[in-house]
Structures are given as C-alpha cells and as structure tokens.
Amino acid sequence: MKVSETMISTLREVPAEAVIASHQLMLRAGIMRKLGNGLFAYLPFGLRAFRKVENIIREEMDNIGAMEFKQPVVVPGDIWKESGRWETMGPGMLKAVNRVDQELVVSPTAEEAFTAIIRDELSSYKQLPIVAYQINTKYRDEIRPRYGVMRGREFTMKDAYSFHTTQESLDETYEKFAKAYRKVFKRLGLSVIPVRADSGAMGGSGSEEFMVESVIGDDTLILCPKCGYAANTEKAACAPDTPKTIDGTPQKATDKPYNEIATPNVKTIEQLTDFLKTTPQSFIKTLIYHVINSELDLSKAPGCAQLKRVTENGGANPYYPDSFFAVCIRGDLDVNEAKLAALLKASEVELASDTDVERITGAAVGFAGPVKLSTVPVVADETVMAMHDCITGGLKTDVHFEHVEPNRDFTPYITADVRTVVAGDKCPHCGAEFYSKKGNELGHIFKLGYKYTKTMNVTYLDENGKQQIPTMGCYGIGVDRALASIIEEHHDDNGIIWPMSVAPYQVAIIPVKFEGAMKENALAIYEELQKAGIEVLLDDRNERPGVKFKDIDLLGIPVRIVVGDKNLPNVELKCRNSSEMQLVPAKDAAAKAAEIVKAELAKLNG
C-alpha cells in the first residue's frame, strides 16, 4: 500500500481525555476515534490490526474444531425471558422496542441466542458435542466506559458455547479451550496470567480467567510466590488464621454470658477499640446489605416470610428483587461484595441505606450485630465462627454487647467465606504469603452446566431413546481489549511497537525524497516485497523525512527501510523493537526484510 492511497491520521499531541498508554497511542496513531461515550470507530490502519487479532483467534478456534456461526446482534427479548435474564441482567443490557411493540435486546452476550439455535438443531446424542463460536458485536451499557476500547460500550467479542452429553465431554472441550487460549495469547505477543477459580482439579464446575497485568486494572489478582496459586480477589481464598486478643494470644472461649455495655457515640471500629482497649480482631463487624435479585430460596430464612418472590416464566430461576442480609466479619477484615453476590446468587449487592439500617437494626447506624437479630438473615464469614469472647453492636443506639460467643449466642443463617483476601494473607495450599497485582480480564472460560439448557428446555435423545438435557460451557475473548492490551505491553515513547503477528503492515519503506534514484529503488524494493507476500507500506508522501520517520515509528511498523541519496546503493534497515541500524545493498533489502518478517512470525506462532 502506498501512503498516498490510504489515510495516516497521526496526532502529535497527547489527547487530554486519554490516561493510559494504549488509549493515547490508539488516538495518536490514528487506530481509532471516539464517536460517542464508549463508542469507537476503527480507522484503516487500526482495522488491519484488529482483523489480524480476530483471525488469530478464529484460526485457533477452527484448530480445536469449533464451528463458526454468526448470530444477529439484535435478538428477541423472548429468549432472554425464557432464561430469566430479561429481569436479572440489570441496566447493563440495552433493550429496545420496535414498531410492532416487539421487545428486543442488543446482545451483551449470547448464551440465550446460541442455546435457542442449538435447541432447534439438536435431536440426537450423535450430534454432540457441539462447539460453536462467533466473533461479533456486543453492547453493554457500562456505567463508566473508560480507557478507550478497554472498557467500551460497543465492542467485539469472540464468544463460544459448547454442548455435551457428559461432564467428561465438557471437561475435555474446556481443556482444549484452555490450551487454545494460551496459543492465541502467545501469537498475539501477550503475557497473560491464567487465574483459575477452582483448585485446578478436573471435573466439577470450573472457570479460568486470562488476565493481563495493568496498573489501571479493574481486577485485583492474588498471587502465591511459592506454589503459583493465582486467583481473582473476587474468588481468592486464604488459609485460616487464629484470631488474637490485644496481648497477641489466641482468643479463648468465655463462660460469661454476653451483656450490654454503654458505648455513647462510639461508632467506628477505631473509636470502639480505643474505648474498650481491645483489638479489631475481637470485634464482629456487622454490615447490612441490600441484595438485588437473589435466586436463593429464602422462604425459611429469618425475617423473609413477607418477601416478594418473582416466579414468572413457569418458575424458571425465581428470585427476590429486593432482600436484606446482615453480614458479619472479623473487625480487621473487609467483606468482598463479589463473593457475597455469588454466595447469595444475586445480580448485585450494595450497602443498605441509613434508613434501612435503622429499620432493620432498631438503632442508629453503627450498632448492628448478629445477637438477637431476627429481622434479616445473618451471613457470617468463616473467620467470625473462630472468634471468642467478642464484641458486637447491641441493636440499640449507644449499646454494644461484650463476651459474645459465636455459635452460643447466635447462629448464622449462612456461614461462608466472604472476606477480601489481600497481600500478606497466607496461601491455602502452601502457606506462603500472597502478593497482589492489578489486572484486566482478557478472556474467560467457564463450565456453565445446565443453567441455560434447563431453563430453555434443550433436550436430545440418548442411546436408549431417552430424553436428556445437555450440559454447557462458554468461552469469551474481548477482541478490542486484546488489541489495546497488545499496545499496552508493546510501546515506547515514540509509539506502538507491534508484534509482527498483528502489525497493520509488516514493513515500511521510506524514501527520503520520492524522486530520482531514491524513488526507483524504493519502488523496486516495494514490488519485490509485495511479490513475496509481505505486507508493505511505501511512504510516497512529499513530506520532510523527519515527519515520515515519526509517523512510521508512532504507527509501530516492525521493519523500516530508509532509502536515501547518501547511502545508495545501500539502504538502511531497522527494526522498530531495536535501536540497531544496518546498511544493506538495496538489491538485498527486500529479501532481508522478508526474512525478518518470517522469523518473527515463526517465533510468535511456534
């Protein structure tokens, strides 16, 4: 391609709206432009890189036998009602109504669409497993789109769905995806941290997230330096530790009954530990949570008899739009809201409003506690049940209880792990101290089980002619986010440094001036490279050489050939990822450049 025939839209200034390198460089190099909040247009150079990312993903999906489909982006609301997610998906899902009042969804993901299509195609066990994928547009009405295409509203995802007769078959496909993803990220030149949600054992349910390290990462990763355990903080577990008293000795059970103590105006844990000369570890912190769309059965839970349960859609996934829980945790720890939401099968949890806290606890904010609390179910973190002789809020303004014994003085409705694991906590497998990193999720593989096939009535006939329900897996990679992450990992002050596999063009030829012998030699090299199947860009603009060098560096083209009067009959050959320059005879330049391209590709693809 000659530059005069395409569009280079580079910017010299760093756009103020962009804070991370990839966002800045995508704008500066003219990879994309913002059309609206969270909505981006790719320009020709950017689209070439984007398509390469797509194609690498496509090739690796095809390599494991996945079949490519293409679903509509706008799908009927009815299939979302069947799965129950019409209600539970929340405001992130964009809904629309057409001229005949049909409700529609702009796909934020496509479990429903694939389940519906496969349901109609599937009749016999002989067809299974089915592994289907698409690379297609998604829309999520993210509250805060940010960092350019890293978190946009419209984006492209490779999403795959598999259907199986047995758990073993699902496990097998899941492992194939786990391998294919590693291959994809290697080919893209990306270093990823695979994070497993389970212990890594085969069978059962499982999921693995592929994270890229980033200072602006929305996820916190908990990592073990010794055994390699890696988990998203949303799921990380740690080894239990012994709660201590103020003098550092393990807490001991007390025979004393719990009793009220006056704690006027003492509300925060710091105020309380000062006032009572104790440690946060002796305090049971109780937080009242507003829980949205819980799918737990709360019919027998304390205080829940009057709760409204939505049982539309023939009872598929009935849920409580609003419920409240008291969540207890040791005073020195924090509740992890993602773990809590997962435990309560809720779409969201949030701290209750002051009014709700006062109504539920019968006291001002700051005096909640699990003892004698009957208005809401109590969730106790596991750490609480190991505590002794502790202090809690007294369900009366300015009152606390002391000498509280968990189990003796209250019984939680649920005991589970809801703590936020942090650096310094101990690994549950080997006991080493965790460290942590920030990261972004690039891809995700997940054993879904029967969630969609059951609610959407997917069946097949087994060997004995008996009706069965298939089990499912799902597998996603964000294409735009992958592209941005590649730039995040491969750049310097002068611009992008594309890995050869995704570079918009592999070689750029810059004649110092596009005239005379320089023009002749540049064109000869250009034609030879084109014949060799190399993607080559010829900067035939009538610009100062400095401008052309800056642009080609900013664009990150991996190999640069400069044709100048001073060096002819030699030309200058330089790789973007190195400062070394070599002079080669003009007649050998194309062959030499082609060799570099092929070697780089082999390294990434090997």
**Token digits of residue 161:** 């769905």
Does 442 engage in binding with ligand ATP (CB under 6 A)?
A: yes
Choose which of 119, 444, 491, 560 interacts with ligand ATP (CB under 6 A).
444
8 Å CB contact between 439 and 402: no
Which token pair is 250? 């393990």
- Burial pattern 548-581, b for ≥16 Cβ within 10 A else e, equals bbbbbbbbbbbbbbbbbeeebebbbbbbbeeeee
- How many angstroms separate the CA atoms of 11 and 529, rounded? 29
Q: Residue 54: CB partners within 8 Å, gap ≥ 6?
A: 135, 156, 158, 479
Helices assigned H by DSSP within 37-163: 44-63, 77-83, 85-88, 111-121
Give the range of 71-79, 478-486, 554-562, 584-592 binding ligand ATP by CB under 6 A.
Answer: 478-486
In angstroms, the first-to-last Cα distance of the chain is 28
Among 85, 176, 196, 481, binds ligand ATP (CB under 6 A): 481
Spatial separation of the C-alpha atoms in residues 526 and 1, rounded to whole Å: 9
68 closest CA partner among 163, 185, 157, 160: 160
Interaction of residue 142 with ligand ATP, rule CB under 6 A = yes
Stretch that binds ligand ATP, among 68-76, 277-285, 439-447, 577-585 (CB under 6 A): 439-447
To ligand ATP, the closest distance from the beta carbon of 268 in angstroms equals 32
Among the listed residues 366, 473, 476, 556, the single contact to ligand ATP using CB under 6 A:
476
Taking CB under 6 A as the binding criterion, the range among 410-418, 474-482, 561-569, 585-593 that sits at the site for ligand ATP is 474-482
- The Cα-based distances of 146 to 75, 156, 213, 481 in angstroms read 26, 16, 17, 12
* Least CB distance to ligand ATP at residue 581 (A): 38
Verify binding: residue 196, ligand ATP, rule CB under 6 A.
no
Among 140, 187, 285, 447, binds ligand ATP (CB under 6 A): 140
The C-alpha atoms of residue 286 and residue 325 are separated, in whole angstroms, by 10
Among 62, 121, 218, 433, binds ligand ATP (CB under 6 A): 218
Q: Which of 370/476 has CB closer to ligand ATP? A: 476
Decide: is 235 part of the binding site for ligand ATP (CB under 6 A).
Answer: no
Tokens 């592209």: give the residue: 483
By the rule CB under 6 A, 157 interacts with ligand ATP = yes
Size of the site for ligand ATP (CB under 6 A): 16
Q: Which of 46, 129, 148, 152 binds ligand ATP (CB under 6 A)?
A: 152
Query: Can residue 447 be called a binding residue for ligand ATP (CB under 6 A)?
Result: no
Region binding ligand ATP by CB under 6 A among candidate stretches 236-244, 473-481, 521-529, 535-543: 473-481
Residues 374-413 that bind ligand ATP (CB under 6 A): none
Question: Token match 């969540």: residue?
Answer: 327
Give me the 97-126 binding string for ligand ATP, x by CB under 6 A, dash otherwise. Answer: ------------x-----------------
Question: Minimum distance from CB of 177 to ligand ATP (Å)?
Answer: 13
Q: Could you tell me which residues are beta bridge partners of residue 158? A: 135, 477
Nearest-approach distance from CB 210 to ligand ATP, in angstroms:
8
Closer by beta carbon to ligand ATP, 130 or else 211: 211
Choose which of 206, 331, 443, 495 interacts with ligand ATP (CB under 6 A).
443
For residues 606 and 594, give the distance between their C-alpha atoms in angstroms, rounded to a whole number. 18
495: left (phi over 0), alpha (psi -120 to 50) or beta: left
Distance CA 132, CA 114 (A): 8
Q: What is the dihedral of CA 339, 488, 476, 605, to 10 degrees?
A: -130
Residue closer to ligand ATP by CB (options 111, 381) is 111
Query: What gap in Å lies between CA 526 and CA 536, rounded to an integer?
Result: 7
Residues 270-299 that bind ligand ATP (CB under 6 A): none
CA dist 1 and 19 (Å) reads 32
Contact segment (CB under 6 A) with ligand ATP among 59-67, 147-155, 360-368, 411-419 equals: 147-155
Tokens of 212: 């890229």
151 binds ligand ATP (CB under 6 A): yes
Return residues touching ligand ATP (CB under 6 A).
Answer: 109, 140, 142, 151-152, 155, 157, 218, 441-444, 476, 478, 480-481
